[in-house]
Chains A and B, each alone.
Chain A
Amino acid sequence: MKVQGEQTLPLPRRAAWDLLLDIDVLARAMPGCESLVPAGADEYDMKMNLAIASMQGLFAGKLRIEDKNPPASYRLVIDGNGRLGFVRGVGQLTLSETPSGTTVHYAGEVQIGGLIASVGERLLDMTAKMMIRRFFAALEREAAGSSPAAAR
């Protein structure tokens, strides 16, 4: 399943870049993320507790940041497994300066499989879109919190 879109953060590009690579921020912003622990260069062990509809399940896996090109782009790779199935995602994030801040363009591919996909095919597209919306809504809140520092 392909996902793409863009979201504007009210921050200069450098500050937006720092925010998007701040692992504590990512851990707070990713829906259901319970922990993100360093496991090598730009690689992290991730635990997620996802709840969608009346389903709920733990996922454990890796998050990797690749092809860093500050402050313009990087690739985010997520790979997780759990009792409900598996989730794999690759997304290219591109940051560009705009009058109102920084526009983050994302384009990628998400694969969801296993039990969750076999009974909930209908739910996958809406779930992926909702998680991306929640992620960016949380990032916006983080950006609002960090903007005094950015203006300094």
Chain B
Amino acid sequence: MHIFGLFITGYQVAFVAVAGLTVLAAVGVVLVPNILRAALCLGVMLMGVAGLYALMNAPFLAVVQVMIYVGAITTMIILAVFLSNRVMKIGFFQAVYNPLLAAAAAGVMFLFLLVTVANSVWVQGIVEKTPATKDVGVQSVATALLQPYVFPFELASVVLLAVLIGAVVIAKEDTADES
């Protein structure tokens, strides 16, 4: 369709809608004083990112994003807020220090990146085709994980084990006779 003489595709409308929602929700995360509402905004923002992935022809990534970030991480944050509220008697409100300074810094950074990204040379797939033009289904993700990226894939499990041990050490309440 044509708006103000510009040709706009449905894809572009969808992109602007999803991206706008994501940015709005992200601003909400920072500005909403109630921490629970901020966490909900975070959930919306992460859903928006999942939508962007879906628009960029990466359905698997979109599903994983929803499952891990929205399903697990946001839920964990909300649970942690509830628990610390109950146990530690910490209020539900987040403090925003120097909002103007932070906004200025973020704005300058945004403009800087926008200008640089717009004025740069982008090399198009030199060694292999770029992922966007290929079928990025579950099967190709699995092949990538178990063939070229098998080392990081296996290493991730060691990382998780180490972090798990560390989390227990830090969080465990020590009884007097142990320490």
Partners in one complex: no
**Residues of A at under 8 Å CB distance from B?**
none
**Residues of B at under 8 Å CB distance from A?**
none
